[in-house]
């Protein structure tokens, strides 16, 4: 991590990569943690809150597939004044598109694509105003996926939402390149979390990486690069297109008229 943040908002903090981010940040960073699981949020607040250092750990239980959940989170985020936003919550049902319940597909798009878009649109302006006024930099990490580069049968909707996350984040990194915010699209390949089990795919594939490694590497990369592909074989293969896409986005930022 290039510099320390005062306060971080992490979605999907109750397990996996989101929880790993919460554990990886230093105790000088206050936390606003969200997910639906109230017990897990309570446990994290107890574990990560530090009475000695005066660290603030707040939690919001919210379903981010709904406007109600997004509104509740944004209401809590306003006074919290996060300078680091980590859009991580995600889900991807595995299976044939034609037999998938429509509600599952809609929820996948709402959680993976619409929720980060809404959070970024609502929170980034305030984050930038504070950063500019205080002469420091804000941070944004959006958790896409290695699958965001690929069309994936039986994970078609999930992969499409991760392509959305990747493209949106890369474009914003270029569009806001002159502003005081570091933006990172994080694209892990298989990681040992509850994701595979929840998706209906089954157990984590062999060689899946440690979520603590993913979170710590992302914090190191923030401010140094715009896209981070993490994982064994496919990670290295996807790094080249990531660099090309970042260069194209920056060229378009210069070429396209301002509105």
Ligand X SMILES: NC(=O)c1ccc[n+]([C@@H]2O[C@H](COP(=O)([O-])OP(=O)(O)OC[C@H]3O[C@@H](n4cnc5c(N)ncnc54)[C@H](OP(=O)(O)O)[C@@H]3O)[C@@H](O)[C@H]2O)c1
Segment interacting with ligand X (CB under 6 A) among 50-58, 84-92, 131-139, 166-174: 84-92
Binds ligand X (CB under 6 A): choice among 33, 44, 89, 118 = 89
Segment interacting with ligand X (CB under 6 A) among 46-54, 58-66, 129-137, 234-242: 58-66
Q: How many residues bind ligand X (CB under 6 A)?
A: 29
Do residues 66 and 52 make contact, with C-beta atoms less than 8 angstroms apart? no
Q: Is 85 an interacting residue with respect to ligand X (CB under 6 A)?
A: no
**Which whole-number Å values give the CA distances from 79 to 83, 159, 198, in the listed order?**
12, 34, 33
Binds ligand X (CB under 6 A): choice among 22, 140, 190, 222 = 190
Cβ proximity to ligand X, 29 vs 161, nearer residue: 161
Q: Give the Cα separation of 120 and 187 in Å (integer).
A: 18
Cβ–Cβ contacts within 10 Å for residue 177, how many?
Answer: 14
Q: Cβ 60 to ligand X, closest distance in Å? A: 10
Q: Is 169 an interacting residue with respect to ligand X (CB under 6 A)?
A: no
- Residue 151 phi, psi dihedral angles, 5° rounding: -80, 130
Distance of CA 41 to the CA centre of its chain: 18
Q: Is 90 an interacting residue with respect to ligand X (CB under 6 A)?
A: yes
Binds ligand X (CB under 6 A): choice among 15, 167, 217, 234 = 15
Structural element, H or E, at residue 122: helix 115-134
Residue 60: closest CA among 119, 104, 103: 119
Binds ligand X (CB under 6 A): choice among 7, 8, 9, 16 = 16
Q: Give the Cα separation of 217 and 203 in Å (integer).
A: 24
Q: Cβ 209 to ligand X, closest distance in Å? A: 8
Q: Is 17 an interacting residue with respect to ligand X (CB under 6 A)?
A: yes
Q: Cβ 5 to ligand X, closest distance in Å? A: 20
Binds ligand X (CB under 6 A): choice among 5, 149, 195, 242 = 195
Cβ proximity to ligand X, 90 vs 93, nearer residue: 90
Structural element, H or E, at residue 167: helix 156-175
Q: Give the Cα separation of 56 and 18 in Å (integer).
A: 18
**Which whole-number Å values give the CA distances from 236 to 73, 160, 163, 205, in the listed order?**
36, 21, 18, 18
Binds ligand X (CB under 6 A): choice among 1, 8, 9, 18 = 18
Q: Is 59 an interacting residue with respect to ligand X (CB under 6 A)?
A: no
Cβ proximity to ligand X, 93 vs 188, nearer residue: 188
Strands (E), 129-238: 138-143, 181-188, 227-230
Chain residues that interact with ligand X, rule: CB under 6 A: 12-18, 35-37, 40, 63-65, 88-92, 111, 143, 145, 188, 190-191, 193-195, 198
């Amino acid at each position: 991590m290039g510099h320390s943040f005062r306060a971080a908002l992490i979605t999907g903090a109750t397990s996996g990569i989101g929880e790993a981010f919460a554990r990886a940040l230093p105790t000088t960073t206050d936390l606003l943690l969200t997910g639906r699981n109230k017990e897990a949020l309570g446990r994290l607040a107890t574990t990560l809150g530090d009475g000695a250092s005066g660290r603030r750990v707040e939690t919001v239980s919210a379903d981010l597939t709904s406007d109600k959940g997004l509104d509740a989170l944004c209401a809590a985020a306003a006074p919290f004044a996060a300078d680091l936003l980590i859009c991580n919550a995600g889900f991807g049902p595995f299976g044939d598109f034609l037999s998938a319940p429509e509600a599952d597909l809609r929820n996948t798009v709402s959680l993976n694509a619409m929720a980060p878009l809404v959070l970024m649109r609502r929170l980034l302006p305030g984050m930038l105003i504070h950063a500019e006024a205080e002469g420091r930099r804000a941070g944004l990490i959006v958790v896409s996926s290695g699958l965001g580069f690929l069309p994936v049968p039986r994970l078609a909707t999930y992969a499409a939402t991760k392509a959305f996350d990747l493209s949106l984040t890369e474009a914003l990194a270029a569009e806001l390149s002159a502003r005081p915010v570091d933006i990172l699209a994080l694209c892990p390949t298989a990681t040992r979390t509850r994701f595979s089990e929840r998706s209906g795919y089954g157990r984590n594939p062999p060689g899946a990486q440690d979520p603590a490694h993913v979170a710590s590497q992302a914090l190191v990369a923030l401010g140094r690069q715009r896209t981070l592909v993490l994982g064994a074989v496919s990670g290295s293969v996807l790094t080249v297109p990531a660099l090309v896409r970042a260069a194209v986005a920056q060229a378009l930022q210069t070429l396209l008229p301002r509105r």
